[in-house]
């Protein structure tokens, strides 16, 4: 996957923003249990009193506390509280005057720094706890107070403050409600902030993932469209389609999920651990044990699922291959009544993929119930241990609840990671498959210093083969051996031979769909390997053996050769190619072409493919058995029109029918990859036995001109 990370570089700002927003969201989410703990501990249990530092004190209590403190602490408390008339109290809400006891003077806490407040809380929590004890038990329990934890002293001090406030006429209900409402509103605002962060993260993550996938598809398609035949021999069409669609979609989904979950989970887990330890460090072992069990199960599932993910992608390729073959060859399947066989073949490929998918899903299904059981056991363990600590006054109920929430958040974070760990192997496999395409080096490349093509307008297009040999990649033997001939300008060269003689292979070497193994091919004296592929192919009008049309209109198909061609030029090309059926159609050039030209006959497709090549004046025309679907009359008329229209160009025609080439200027006879005869029709009839056999097999008993 690291090979494809460069596609995320344009979105670094969005990724950085996502990380910042995830930290914001995590802080909001992690703060909620803490505020819930405050509401339970202080808002509900302690009546809204959240500090062992009273905001107001009666004069009697103030003096009693002073007697319990040393001189230094007594001076500190004297500086922290100032005497005020009871009517001027603002620190806490008071009951109505008619309901409040009458006090001429109280002591109110003055604003202090955080450090001063902390020190004063330490001093007064012990003093207030001592004051809460009966006088006769004070000496007996004073040493016990030293052994108590801070939480126990704090709770005793707050209980004493509660009595003091009640004695002074403080509106305890209003104090409690204001505390709960205040922290409740804070929790609502934090929830809204977390929700806003989630929305922004989702927006940025989806835009990043979709943008990277778009660029990845563009690059893969650009790479594939420049593949030569040698590369297409390595990757099947079905596999390339799967890699361009399914695999990239997988990468897009994982990129989105990674930005949303893979980055968020460690932040939440780390923050949860820190906060949980702050609440109850002595209970951390419970979380540690749960995490260890979880990691063990994730590792087991990971080891089982990974090999199946690799197999799954291959099975997707296989299913696409079978489906593509059936759909493209549907007429043949029906003609031979092979529907049931093909259904079985597709059913097997489908069932193999289904079985592997079910296996993986069954393994994955184990995770969720296991997580739920683990969280429930974890909650029971926390309640069991926490309840004992609450009973010992070493922990408050709210802290136990907050600890439980943090523990669940930690486990949920690891569960998110486990989901990603399951998705990442499959994504890694998809990434490797995509990288294989992107990193495939073309077997045919442009030269570092290309030779510019220069030739006079009247003498452009001479094609010369010099001792050319060729073998397909990974093949053991040559399919073409020591081929040497020249196709001169303004002449037509025909190539004929039995099936498998290497005719199409030979003609495919001229536009460099393959490169020669040895020897050289020259155009006007320049080795085609010294020219750029773009310049080379700009000299060639090519009509393939299989006439391929693209969905759209007839005009759009013809403009493949020259986008700027005028309508008159298109019409002339159609007439020369004997494609009058287009001109006779009311829709004319706007007539629709179905995918692959399925709405035209074989002969019509061949004529449209020839017309496409004739739209532009090329120095060289290559026809790879492009007249095979034409009747003899149309064939003859088309060749006459071709001779007239492309009079100044080099024309090379591969044919199976002798009638197509018997009147050309020069004929080359191939057999088993070698030239066994060259010359005109009359010359070959007397000098080449292989040619004579072909002619006699096609003109049985007829007079041969």
Contact (CB, 8 A) for 85 and 105: yes
Compute the average pLDDT of residues 375-379.
85
Q: Which of 400-409, 435-444, 644-653 shows the lowest per-residue confidence on average (mean pLDDT)?
A: 435-444
Return the ∠ at Cα 259 (arms to 304 and 251), rounded to 5°: 55
The pLDDT value given to residue 628: 82
Q: How far is CA 424 from the centre of its chain?
A: 11
The pLDDT value given to residue 214: 92
Q: Over 80: is that where the pLDDT of 538 sits? A: yes
The pLDDT value given to residue 650: 92
Q: Over 70: is that where the pLDDT of 103 sits? A: no
The pLDDT value given to residue 16: 93
Q: Which of 54, 48, 49, 46 is nearest to 89 (CA)?
A: 54
d(CA 263, CA 204): 14
Strand partners, 666: 493
Q: How far is CA 89 from the centre of its chain?
A: 64
Compute the average pLDDT of residues 74-102.
77
The pLDDT value given to residue 99: 57
Compute the average pLDDT of residues 325-343.
81
Q: Taking phi first (over 0 means left), then psi (-120 to 50 degrees means alpha), and beta for anything else, what does residue 657 get?
A: beta
Per-residue CA distances from 94 to 159, 161, 171, 356, 670 (Å)? 18, 15, 5, 72, 112
The pLDDT value given to residue 621: 92
- Which of the four pLDDT bands, split at 50, 70 and 90, describes residue 458? low
d(CA 525, CA 460): 10
The pLDDT value given to residue 669: 93
Q: What is the DSSP letter of 211?
A: H
Q: Is 525 helix (H, G, I), strand (E, B) or coil?
A: coil
Compute the average pLDDT of residues 492-514.
90
The pLDDT value given to residue 326: 81
* Residue pointed to by tokens 């969280």: 375
Q: Which of 631, 666, 620 is nearest to 455 (CA)?
A: 620
Here the tokens at position 643 are 């001779």
Compute the average pLDDT of residues 218-224.
88
Here the tokens at position 330 are 């549907």
Q: Taking phi first (over 0 means left), then psi (-120 to 50 degrees means alpha), and beta for anything else, what does residue 593 get?
A: beta
The overall average pLDDT reported for the chain is 84
Compute the average pLDDT of residues 183-198.
94
d(CA 496, CA 625): 9
Q: Which of 12-16, 154-158, 286-290 has the highest mean pLDDT?
A: 12-16
Per-residue CA distances from 438 to 248, 424, 435, 447, 491 (Å)? 12, 20, 5, 21, 42
Greater model confidence, 468 or 634: 468
What are the pLDDT digits (tens) for 642-698? 888 888 889 999 988 888 888 889 999 999 899 999 999 999 989 999 998 888 888
- In the sheet where 56-58 sits, what is the strand order? 56-58, 106-109, 81-84
Compute the average pLDDT of residues 590-616.
87
d(CA 609, CA 302): 53
The pLDDT value given to residue 192: 95
* Residue pointed to by tokens 């594939």: 224
What DSSP letter does each residue of 356-422 carry, written as one string?
A: HHHHHHHHHHTHHHHHHHHHHHHHHHHHHHHHHHHHTTSS-HHHHHHHHHHHHHHHHHHHHHHHHHH
Here the tokens at position 87 are 């009517």
Q: Which of 49-63, 250-264, 564-578 shows the lowest per-residue confidence on average (mean pLDDT)?
A: 49-63
The pLDDT value given to residue 507: 92
The pLDDT value given to residue 147: 54
Q: Is 234 helix (H, G, I), strand (E, B) or coil?
A: helix
pTM of the model: 0.73
Q: Which of 423, 392, 321 is nearest to 148 (CA)?
A: 392
3-state secondary structure 422-479: HHHHHHHHHHHHHHHHHCCCCCCCCCCCCCCCCCCHHHCCCEEEEEEEECCCCCCCCC
Q: Over 80: is that where the pLDDT of 140 sits? A: no
Per-residue CA distances from 399 to 33, 283, 629, 638 (Å)? 9, 12, 86, 92
Q: Which of 59-73, 95-109, 292-306, 538-552 has the highest mean pLDDT?
A: 538-552
The pLDDT value given to residue 666: 93
- Which of the four pLDDT bands, split at 50, 70 and 90, describes residue 186? very high
Query: What percentage of the chain exceeds 70 in pLDDT?
Result: 94
Greater model confidence, 130 or 416: 416
The pLDDT value given to residue 467: 93
Greater model confidence, 457 or 86: 86
Q: Which of 91, 89, 164, 90 is nearest to 124 (CA)?
A: 164
Q: Residue 84: phi, psi to the nearest 5?
A: -140, 150
Contact (CB, 8 A) for 620 and 526: no
Greater model confidence, 149 or 299: 299
The pLDDT value given to residue 420: 79
Compute the average pLDDT of residues 491-497.
92
The pLDDT value given to residue 146: 55
- Which of the four pLDDT bands, split at 50, 70 and 90, describes residue 356? confident
Q: Over 60: is that where the pLDDT of 144 sits? A: no
Per-residue CA distances from 153 to 42, 127, 149, 553, 594 (Å)? 15, 9, 6, 88, 86
Strands 106-109 and 56-58: antiparallel
The pLDDT value given to residue 620: 92
Compute the average pLDDT of residues 163-181.
87
- Which of the four pLDDT bands, split at 50, 70 and 90, describes residue 523? very high
d(CA 200, CA 216): 24
Here the tokens at position 660 are 């197509």
Compute the average pLDDT of residues 454-459.
64
d(CA 456, CA 438): 40
Q: Over 90: is that where the pLDDT of 549 sits? A: no
Compute the average pLDDT of residues 588-611.
87
Q: Over 70: is that where the pLDDT of 7 sits? A: yes
Compute the average pLDDT of residues 388-410.
83
All structural domains of the chain: 2-32+183-280+290-438 (1.20.1560.10), 56-90+94-170 (no CATH), 460-698 (3.40.50.300)
Q: Which of 200-204, 288-292, 535-539 shows the lowest per-residue confidence on average (mean pLDDT)?
A: 288-292
Torsion of CA 452, 458, 464, 470, to 10 degrees: 60
d(CA 27, CA 14): 20
Alpha helices in 81-149 (DSSP H): 114-132, 135-147
Counting other chains too, the contacts that 505-509 makes at CB distance below 8 Å and 24 or more residues apart are 505/470, 505/479, 505/480, 506/465, 506/468, 506/480, 506/654, 506/670, 507/622, 507/624, 507/652, 507/654, 508/229, 508/624, 509/468, 509/470, 509/480
């Amino acid at each position: 996957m690291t090979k494809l990370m460069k596609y995320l570089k344009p979105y670094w700002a969005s990724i950085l923003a996502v990380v910042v927003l995830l930290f914001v969201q995590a802080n909001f989410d992690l703060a909620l249990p803490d505020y819930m703990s405050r509401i339970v501990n202080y808002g509900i249990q302690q009546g809204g009193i959240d500090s062992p530092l009273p905001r107001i004190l009666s004069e009697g209590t103030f003096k009693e506390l002073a007697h319990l403190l040393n001189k230094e602490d007594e001076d500190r408390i004297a500086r922290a509280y100032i005497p005020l008339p009871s009517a001027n109290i603002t620190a806490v809400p008071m009951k109505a005057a008619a309901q409040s006891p009458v006090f001429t003077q109280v002591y109110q806490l003055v604003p202090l720094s955080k450090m001063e407040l902390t020190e004063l809380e330490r001093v007064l929590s012990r003093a207030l706890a001592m004051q809460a004890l009966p006088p006769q038990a004070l000496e007996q329990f004073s040493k016990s107070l030293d052994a108590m934890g801070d939480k126990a002293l704090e709770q005793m001090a707050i209980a004493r403050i509660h009595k003091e406030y009640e004695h002074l006429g403080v509106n305890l209900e209003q104090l409690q409600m204001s505390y709960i409402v205040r922290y409740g509103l804070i929790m609502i605002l934090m929830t809204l902030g977390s929700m806003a962060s989630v929305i922004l993260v989702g927006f940025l993550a989806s835009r990043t993932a979709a943008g990277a996938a778009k660029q990845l598809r563009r690059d893969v398609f650009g790479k594939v469209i420049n593949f030569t035949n040698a590369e297409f021999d390595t990757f099947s069409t079905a596999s390339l389609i799967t890699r361009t669609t399914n695999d990239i979609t997988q990468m897009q989904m994982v990129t989105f999920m990674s930005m949303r979950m893979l980055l968020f989970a460690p932040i939440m887990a780390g923050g949860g651990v820190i906060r949980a330890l702050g609440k109850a460090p002595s209970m951390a072992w419970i979380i540690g044990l749960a995490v260890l069990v979880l990691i063990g199960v994730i590792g087991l599932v990971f080891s089982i699922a990974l090999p199946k993910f690799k197999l799954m992608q291959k099975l997707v390729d296989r299913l696409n291959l079978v489906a593509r073959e059936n759909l493209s060859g549907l007429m043949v399947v029906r003609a031979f009544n092979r529907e049931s066989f093909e259904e079985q073949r597709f059913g097997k490929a489908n069932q193999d993929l289904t079985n592997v998918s079910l296996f993986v899903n069954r393994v994955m299904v184990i995770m969720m119930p296991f997580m739920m059981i683990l969280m429930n056991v974890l909650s029971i363990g926390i309640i069991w241990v926490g309840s004992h600590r609450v009973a010992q006054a070493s922990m408050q109920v709210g802290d136990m609840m907050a600890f439980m929430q943090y523990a669940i958040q930690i486990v949920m974070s690891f569960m998110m990671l486990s989901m990603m760990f399951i998705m990442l192997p499959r994504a890694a496999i998809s990434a490797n498959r995509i990288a294989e395409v992107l990193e495939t080096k073309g077997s045919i490349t442009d030269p570092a210093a290309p030779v510019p093509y220069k030739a006079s307008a009247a003498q452009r297009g001479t094609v010369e083969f010099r001792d050319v040999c060729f073998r397909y990649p990974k093949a053991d033997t040559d399919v073409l051996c020591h081929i040497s001939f020249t196709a001169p300008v303004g002449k037509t060269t025909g190539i004929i031979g039995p099936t498998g003689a290497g005719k199409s292979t030979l003609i495919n070497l001229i536009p460099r769909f393959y490169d020669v193994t040895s020897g050289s091919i020259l155009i006007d004296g320049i080795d085609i390997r010294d020219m750029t592929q773009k310049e080379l192919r700009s000299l060639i009008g090519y009509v393939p053996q299989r006439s391929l049309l693209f969905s759209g209109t007839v005009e759009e198909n013809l403009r493949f050769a020259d986008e700027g061609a005028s309508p008159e030029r298109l019409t002339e090309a159609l007439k020369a190619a004997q494609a009058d059926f287009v001109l006779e159609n009311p829709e004319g050039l706007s007539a629709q072409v179905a995918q692959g030209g399925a709405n035209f006959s074989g002969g019509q497709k061949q004529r449209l493919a020839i017309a496409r090549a004739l739209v532009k004046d090329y120095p060289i025309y290559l026809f790879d058995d492009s007249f095979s679907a034409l009747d003899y009359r149309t064939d003859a008329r088309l060749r006459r029109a071709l001779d007239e229209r492309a009079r100044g160009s080099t024309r090379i025609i591969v044919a199976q029918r002798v009638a197509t080439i018997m009147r050309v200027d020069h004929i080359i006879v191939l057999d088993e990859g070698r030239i066994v005869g060259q010359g005109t029709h009359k010359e070959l009839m007397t000098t080449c036995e292989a040619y004579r056999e072909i002619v006699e097999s096609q003109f049985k008993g007829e007079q041969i001109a």
